[in-house]
Amino acid sequence: MNFRLRVWRQKSSDEKGRLVDYDAPDISPNTSFLEMLDIVNERLIERGEEPIAFDSDCREGICGTCSLTINGEAHGPSHPGAACQLYMRRFTDGETITVEPFRARPFHFIKDLVVNRGALDRIVQAGGFISARAGSAPEANSIPVPKHDADRAMEAAACIGCGACAAACPNGSAMLFTSAKVSHLAFLPQGHPERVTRALRMVSAMDAEGFGNCTNTYECEAVCPAEISASFIAKLNREFARASFAKKLGD
């Protein structure tokens, strides 16, 4: 297959960026999108040109590192799935494909297709954990968890922290991400001791990073590779309201 790529090239946040055209001829339909970029980069290096900078790690939809906006969609046209799970057979022969970085105000630009998504890590650091005794695993039946709660917790825990939700949202909101991280602990008894402080601190960290608010456009849910439901945002709102009342009563 043959493609024409339009790739965002920008040396640093201090310099201006622009879309640069590259030909990508003779690509197998079974090549992944990132492998196709590897091939393009090898050809650029052979010609003595600067390769395209892009992020990847696991390349199997687990780590959340790949962060490409492809033809205007976070992670590209094949949902659900991360950019690393996208194959060239999904496109038509001769197609022009536009590749840009994830854009959201808190994602600071680094180079070409690479942005710093440390803002998501800082939201988790604010409260996305439990304080538990380290050591051997406790006996599984010592803390019974209702099946429905266990299922919901596992659904929320599937979030891979990619940031596509914020990149796709017209408000640059990270509420789907934050709701997944708050919910997967709120559904489990182990997460209850810090339930109030977690909701308050993570929402406050999300606001401090400059993410916007949810206005129910559902773009986040549409691009999420982990199929996190927007219903978790309602859960986050309930957790935040509950925590705010609890804090007021405690004051």
Is the link from the previous residue into 80 a cis peptide, with omega within 30 of 0? yes
**Burial of residue 67, with CB atoms counted within 10 A of its CB: 0-12 exposed, 13-18 middle, 19 or more buried:** buried
Among residues 19, 20, 62, 208, the one that binds ligand FES under rule CB under 6 A: 62
Q: Decide if residue 32 touches ligand FES (CB under 6 A).
A: no
166 and 123 Cβ atoms separated by less than 8 Å: no
For the chain, the 3-state helix, strand and coil shares in percent, each to the nearest 5, are: 40, 15, 45
| C-alpha to C-alpha distance for 227 and 219, rounded to whole angstroms | 12
Minimum Å distance from CB 62 to ligand FES? Answer: 5
Nearer to ligand SF4, 5 or 162 (CB): 162
**Burial of residue 133, with CB atoms counted within 10 A of its CB: 0-12 exposed, 13-18 middle, 19 or more buried:** exposed
- Interacting stretch for ligand FES, rule CB under 6 A, among 50-58, 177-185, 197-205, 227-235? 50-58
Handedness of CA 138, 139, 145, 151 (dihedral sign): positive
61 and 225 Cβ atoms separated by less than 8 Å: yes
Q: Which of residues 57-96 bind ligand SF4 (CB under 6 A)?
A: 64
Minimum Å distance from CB 84 to ligand FES? Answer: 3
Grouping H, G, I as helix, E, B as strand and the rest as coil, residue 181 is helix
Nearer to ligand FES, 4 or 79 (CB): 79
Q: How many C-beta atoms lie closer than 10 Å to residue 93's C-beta?
A: 11
Per-position x/- string for 139-168, each x denoting binding to ligand FES as judged by CB under 6 A, each - no binding: ---------------------x--------
Per-position x/- string for 208-247, each x denoting binding to ligand SF4 as judged by CB under 6 A, each - no binding: ----------------xxx-x-------------------
186 and 235 Cβ atoms separated by less than 8 Å: yes
Calculate the alpha carbon distances from 22 to 71, 238, 241 in Å.
Answer: 15, 48, 51
Minimum Å distance from CB 190 to ligand SF4? Answer: 21
Per-position x/- string for 115-144, each x denoting binding to ligand SF4 as judged by CB under 6 A, each - no binding: ------------------------------
Minimum Å distance from CB 178 to ligand SF4? Answer: 9
Nearer to ligand SF4, 23 or 207 (CB): 207
Applying CB under 6 A, the residues found at the interface with ligand SF4 are 64, 159-165, 176-177, 180, 224-226, 228
Applying CB under 6 A, the residues found at the interface with ligand FES are 56-59, 61-66, 82, 84, 160
